[in-house]
Amino acid sequence: MHAIRTGGLILLVMLGWAVLSPAASMAGEAREWGVRRSVLDGAWYPADPVVLQGLIGRLLSQAAPPRIEGRIIALVSPHAGYTYSGPVAARAYALIQGMPVERVVLVGPSHRWGFATISVACHDAYETPLGRVPVDRAMARRLMESDPMIDFVPEAHAAEHSLEIQLPFLQTVLDEFSIVPVIMGRVDGPGCSALAAALVRAMEDGVRTLLIASTDLSHFHTDRTARDLDRRFVEHLSAFDPEGLAEALAAGKCEACGGGPTVAVLTAAGMLGAGRCVVLDYATSGDVTGDRDRVVGYVSAAVMEGPETD
């Protein structure tokens, strides 16, 4: 683990997962938590629903994703503002337009609340300018009952962007669906495996479910260094190798704030019958800003059922 000072705060980086220091976990209460309202509208994406819908429509129309054979079980998508990572994310979301998905499990890292467990939201719904998406509280309860590491930490969800940034895309490409928002704190490899197993058990209700891992890649290196680090992450994705990815993150061979969520989702997808992963797009913020001195890496990918094919 190492520390980076940013804006007067200490950013702790451990196994590729970033959190702001430090805070204790709070047990979730069995109560109604109401609507989790947008904290990103007007900043990370437009607040006006017409403008937002138009932006997403343009991103999707320009995405041109490859043809994918086999049922899509999971996606990997970045979580920066749409100006920066929107085109990369759109390559993934264009693949699932009109797909018969009834529930989406969103798994992302905690950037603003430090804790050492896994939190699943128990809100009634998440809200964006495009409307409200209900939370599947029944599945959330099953997850919390399945493993003592999984609880509801309200503070982890309050200002977290990694899950909310996915919602306007989902609201555009899918019909009615519910979500299960999962935030991972400082969780090690066994914790990723425990979450994967809990997700699979909680999905035995037969509801058509899509898994999404939310992650950005390396942060604030030169573009050349970032691409070298990110290449290793992308190679493990392409190989559908969650164990190797976890090892590479732990060894510092690559970086990702959503490293844990990606490992957990890939592991769960494998347990659900996935056998291959197609990387759809990769870019850095330098491709948008022209600043190649301090960049952030972005990747999108689709995980499909069946064995790997040539």
pLDDT at 132: 97
The span from the CA of 182 to the CA of 260, in Å, is: 12
The span from the CA of 143 to the CA of 179, in Å, is: 13
pLDDT at 308: 57
Q: Where are the domains of the chain?
A: 30-305
pLDDT at 306: 78
Torsion angle of the four alpha carbons 270, 139, 35, 161, in this order, in degrees rounded to the nearest 10: -20
Residue 216 contacts residue 78 (beta carbons within 8 Å): yes
∠ CA 188-192-195 to the nearest 5 degrees?
Answer: 135
Q: Is 287 exposed, middle or buried (0-12, 13-18, 19+ CB in 10 A)?
A: middle
Task: Name the stretches of the chain with pLDDT < 50.
Answer: 1-31, 310
The span from the CA of 108 to the CA of 77, in Å, is: 10
Q: Which fold would CATH assign to domain 30-305?
A: Protocatechuate 4,5-dioxygenase; Chain B (3.40.830)
The span from the CA of 33 to the CA of 106, in Å, is: 18
Residue among 85, 105, 38, 46 nearest 257 (CA) = 85
